[in-house]
Each structure stands twice: as structure tokens, then as C-alpha cells.
Structure 1
Amino acid sequence: MANTETSLKEASSIEGFIGAALVDYTSGMALGTLGGGKDLDLTVAAAGNTDVVRAKVRTMEMLGIQEEIEDILITLGSQYHLIRLLKSRGSNGLFLYLALAKDRANLAMARHQLKKIEAELDV
């Protein structure tokens, strides 16, 4: 089982990595961050993406859709922003946030690697 720091380091090995965070969407707080920088404030991204997750969860409830959200993809001109809601033991209310450079990333592989990181994460 991997801790937050180890999981974020694994995320940093994903091709096209810009930044990653483990976020508690009940509070909007980042439990850990790696990468980012002046062009991507991961604390702001964590709080803002918390609103995205909450809105999508509410919408699913209003629509009566019983399926769980695996991930949410936001595509920008030069970046992918991937939000993976965690379902593993002890991780309810958490999501992994990953920002990737679109020209260097393989989205399918990134999703696969995030799923693997989730399975190994112990919060």
C-alpha cells in the first residue's frame, strides 16, 4: 500500500505530467500536491475542481443515475485535466487530480495508471 506522497510521485511519472493533487472534496483541501508551479496553482485547482465534483455528484443524484463516476475529463487547448474519484478502502470523499500536457500525454494510459495508483493508495 502506498501513502499520499508515494502515490503523487507515481503520478509524476505519467507521460506529460504537469501536476497532481490528492483532494478531499468534502472540504476542498489538497491533502498533498506535486508539481504545478507558477502556471498551475494546485491549491486553487483543488478547490475549484471540488466544485466540479460536487456539481457532477449532485447532477447524477438528480438524474437518478446509480452508477459511480470513474473520472471527469476537462480538455483544454494544450492540457488534459483528469479527476479520478477514489473508491478504494478508506478513500471515500477523495479524488486524484492530474494535469497533463496534451502534446506529450497518452490519455488512455494516464487513466490506466491513475486506476493503478488508486488501487495501491492507502489513506
Structure 2
Amino acid sequence: MQIPFFQRLQELTGPVTNRIVSSATGPEKAASERILQQVLTGLPELLGAAVVEVDSGQALATYTTSREFNLSKALDFNAEVVRQQRRALAALQLGAEEQLEEILITLHSQLHLLRLLPDGRRFLYVAVDCRDTNLGIAREVMRTCEE
């Protein structure tokens, strides 16, 4: 049973865990939530995931498994990484056929992947623990979740 008061109370104590939280509206909300649901189906052990607007850094939908893993703190920085990488590629003048697809950030025990969605305005962010999954599986799940 879902009681709105208790849901709002949980949000006051930190990030909501084990539930997709959406800030988008309309068709964008449905699309973002569907993408995250597909990611969860393929990577049920992930640490966190989000669909993010590149230009604003705003999360359209998020999912996390731990209150300590606060996605909202990192997503704007990740959007800036995407914007800067696009600028770097433009400076290289590689041609229109070379487009940014994915960025991998490797930590000691975690993998953080940023994959541009086909519209180029949003990216899918996924963080996994290296002990629970491998890069190949995470990349394939993200690739198949594209709209």
C-alpha cells in the first residue's frame, strides 16, 4: 500500500531507493521511465541509473539502490563531461560521421557509463559494481535500451 505522506517523508531523508523517480512530464517521462525499467531488467544489481538532459544536466528519471549513492550530486558534472567531450571532438574536426556514443569512467570497484541516446539531447547513465557485472554486459544492456 502506498501512502503519499510516507513517500514524501522518505524523500526528506535522502534519495529515494529502489524506485524509479521521474521529474519529467508527458511522453518524456514515459520514455525515461521505460529506459530505466529496461536497464533494471538487464542489470538488476546496478548501483544507480539515470536519464539526463545533456544541455541542462537535469535528471529526467533516476534509480538508485543506496542512500549513500546520491546520483543528483554527480549528474550535472557528468553532463558537463559530455558537453566538453563534444567540444573536444568538434575541435578535432573528424567529420559528421564521427559522433560521441559512450564515455566510460573506470574506478577501482565501479564502472560508470554515459551513453548518448539517439536524439543526442539526453544520455543514459549507469553505475555498476565491478564485482557484480562486467563492462561487456553493461554496455550491451545500455545499447539495447536505446529508443
TM bracket, shorter-chain basis: 0.7 to 0.9
User: Is residue 2:86 matched to residue 1:70?
Assistant: no
Q: Which runs of 5+ in 2 are unaligned?
A: 1-29
Distance 1:77 1:50 in 2: 22
Q: Secondary structure at the match of 2:85?
A: helix
Kindly indicate whether residue 60 of structure 2 is the aligned counterpart of residue 45 of structure 1: no
Q: Looking at CA atoms only, which structure, 1 or 2, has the larger radius of gyration?
A: 2
Provide the rounded CA distance (Å) in 2 between the counterparts of 1:15 and 1:72: 21
Q: 1:54 — aligned with what?
A: 83
Q: Structure 1 regions of 5+ residues with no counterpart?
A: none
The equivalent residue for 2:57 is 28
Q: Deviations over 1:45-77 (max 9, x none)?
A: 211101110110000001112311110000001
1:8/1:28 Cα in 2 relative to 1: closer, same or farther (>3 Å)?
same
Provide the residue aligned with 2:36 in structure 1: 8
Q: Number of matched residues?
A: 115
> What fraction of aligned residue pairs are identical, expressed as a percent?
37
Please report the TM-score for the alignment, with normalisation by the length of structure 1. 0.86
Greater relative contact order structure (CA < 8 Å, 6+ sep): 1
Question: Which secondary structure does the structure 2 equivalent of 1:17 belong to?
Answer: coil
1:107 matched to 2:135: yes
Show structure 1 runs of 4+ deviating over 2 A.
36-39
TM-score, normalised via structure 2 length: 0.72
Aligned mate of 1:17, from 46, 50, 63: 46
CA distance in 2, matches of 1:83, 1:23: 10
More strand by share: 1
* Corresponding position: 1:92 with 2:92: no
